[in-house]
Amino acid sequence: MPKLSRRRFVAASAASAAAGIAAPAWSAPGVPDVDVAVIGAGAAGIAAARRIAGTKARLTVLEAADRIGGRCFTDTTTFGMPYDRGAHWIHTPDLNPIIPFALRSGLDIYPAPPNQRIRIGRRNARESEMEDYLAALVRSNRAIADAARGRSDISCAAVLPKDLADWQKTVEFVLGPFGCGKDLGEISSADFAKSAERNVDSFCRQGLGALIASFGQGLPVQLSNPVRFIDYNARAGIEVRTARGSLTAKAVIVTASTGVLLDNKIKFDPELPRRHQDALERLSLGSYDHIALELPGNPLALQRDEVVFEKSNSTRTGAILANISGTTLCTIDVGGKFGRELAAQGEPAMVAFALEWLAGLYGADIKKAVKRTHATQWNKEPWALGAFSAAAPGGQVARTVLAEPLRERVWFAGEAVHDTLWGTVGGAWASGDRAAQQALRKIGAISEPPPEPQRQAPEPRRRRR
């Protein structure tokens, strides 16, 4: 190693401090500043960073926003109570990799109630009507699963049963915009069928965003420092240029959303291979937003965390999540094409829709019961640009393609990279952990695991929310 003079040490330290880079004060020429740079401090980035922090590898995490959590964000100021602006459901707790950490967090994790209602006009659906709805939902799931076994990956809309009658719009909303953030005509039947069942869920009383943020405490995260350029061609190390300077790394894990990557907010040299670009396009983000209403006194007469759908005859519909974690907060969730167009009109238009829609189901007096309001607009969030991924018809294989590293130096992670838990925080976490392990093995920070006997993967269960 070259001798380090006092002048050279001071100059290097000053440059590093000015750039805001959490790296060693000085690195010898040709020696990367860090072993692994993680880009993004959402669920995938935090999972990757925690895995790396458990080794001797030198780590930095670069986050564009002024907070950690990504699309998991618990707001406690708007209503004076926990309000998840982004992800809220902890899906499939029996498979979800964050559950072991969540149960040790000290926060209140509890099962989501299994019941849901269907509203028909201004009354609740009768038992026979609920049975008809559930039967239509089961038959639709089965038709999509059967189609996925075929040779061609076509849209979910193309394979729905033709005899859903007046339940068709409701089924289309529940399976499409509510479940996937996109209309069924934009969703791959193979991707839908491969996703793990999401019938059983849990909630965090303090908010899922607060839970994920707690996992990031103590990690070397640089906030408000967006990455703009990644040169993974240099021999001496991967150059990462940020808003506050540059650093070099042996390996890079990119957890930015497909929306951010498609918007070219991060440029690559060499450019991304055509395979990866095509995969990003096939995994574009859907639209899913919350219109939050404060409703003191429970004027809807609903249970805690109860879900309500409408028997609808159009796409202008939503879903109610009532009395969230026992509070006076209720969200009207909108998604898909209608949700995207509504959100583009701005928050006042979104709140106006929610009030009119609720009045149609519970009477005009419900408007008087509403106090404070808020609406999310994830399509406009600069470091998200959408909700979550659902593969386009013919695009299910894109998830496997996106998991391929670039020259064994750059790995991608996030919910879009998980085959069965896509669109979930658990899927993002698992993909970040997996990418970190692959990167650590490549740079020699951990040893290769012994080969495991191959097992036949179980057939994925059908989604029937």
For residue 353, what is the domain's CATH number? 3.90.660.10
Q: Which among 41, 38, 21, 22 has a CA at the least distance from the CA of 384?
A: 41
Query: SS3 of 435, please?
Result: helix
Residue 109 lies in a domain: no
Regarding whether 301 and 193 lie in a shared domain, the answer is yes
Other beta carbons within 10 Å of 434: 20
Domain assignment of residue 307, yes or no: yes
**Both tokens assigned to 121:** 């006009």
Task: Check whether residue 170 and residue 217 sit in a common domain.
Answer: no
CA 336 to CA 182: how far, in whole Å? 4
Q: Is the domain of 279 the same as that of 290?
A: no
Residues of the chain with pLDDT under 70: 1-30, 449-465
Please state the φ and ψ torsions of residue 290, each to the nearest 5 degrees. Answer: -105, 135
pLDDT in tens, 62-117: 999 999 999 999 999 999 999 999 999 999 999 899 999 999 999 999 999 988 99
455 within some domain? no
On whether both 251 and 305 belong to a single domain, the answer is no
Asked if residue 462 belongs to a domain, the reply is no
Which residues form the domain of 174? 115-198+286-380
Under 8 Å between Cβ of 59 and 53:
yes
Q: How many domains does the chain have?
A: 2
Q: How many CB atoms lie within 10 A of CB 172?
A: 23
Instruction: Give pLDDT, residue 115.
Output: 82
- Tell me, yes or no, whether 309 and 359 share the same domain: yes
Burial 355-387 (b: 16+ CB within 10 A, else e): bebbeebbeeebeebbeebbbbbbbebebbbbb
Tell me whether residue 87 is in a domain: no
- Taking residue 82's Cβ as centre, other Cβ atoms within 10 Å add up to 20
Same domain, 159 and 235: no
Find, among 65, 20, 72, the residue nearest to 43 by Cα.
Answer: 72
276 shares its domain with 309:
no
**Residues contacting residue 62 through CB under 8 Å, at least 6 positions apart:** 37, 38, 39, 40, 222, 225, 226, 227, 240, 242
314 and 239 part of one domain: no
H or E element, residue 229: strand 227-231
pLDDT of the residue at 132: 97
Let me know whether 128 and 139 are in one domain: yes
**Which neighbouring-strand residues pair with 402?**
none
Q: How many CA atoms lie within 13 A of 85 on its CB side?
A: 20
Residue holding tokens 């879900």?
307
pLDDT of res. 198: 83
31 domain residue, yes or no: yes
Same domain for 133 and 267?
no
- Classify residue 192: in a domain, yes or no: yes
